[in-house]
Amino acid sequence: MDSNDIGDASEAIVLSELTQIGYTVSIPFSDSSRYDLVVEVDGDLEKVQVKTGRMDNGCVTFQCRSKNRNKQDFYTPEEVDAYCVYSEEQDSVYWILFDEAGKRGMRLRVDEDIKNSPQVNWARDFLLQNRL
């Protein structure tokens, strides 16, 4: 699968997970919007960018940018309210608010951290079913 196919598969899985737990989800009409889904959460409409997480050194990682025509473009808080990250390796979906993610990306630790730093973003704390 190419990167578009992988992204489409992640979007389908996230859409399915959100609807299974009872959320209303809308899809923008065209591919020109900066978000992939609109999710109704407590009466508010949240613009959601879906990302595919990759495992790297015991963490699910994702980038907070789009890549079109070899141009990397970072998202802004006006464009995106939250990220939904699907990790095939963990068979999990994570919900991260825009302000919780770094400007460039984020690492969600799955494996126990040797140092047990208080700055660790534990993947379990961001699981979709625990956040919404």
- Give the tens place of pLDDT for each residue, 46-70: 999 999 999 998 999 999 998 765 6
What's the pTM? 0.90
- Give the tens place of pLDDT for each residue, 73-94: 899 999 999 999 999 999 999 9
Beta-carbon contacts of 92 under 8 Å, excluding residues fewer than 6 positions away, are: 60, 86, 123, 127, 128
- Do residues 83 and 93 touch, judged by C-beta distance below 8 A? no
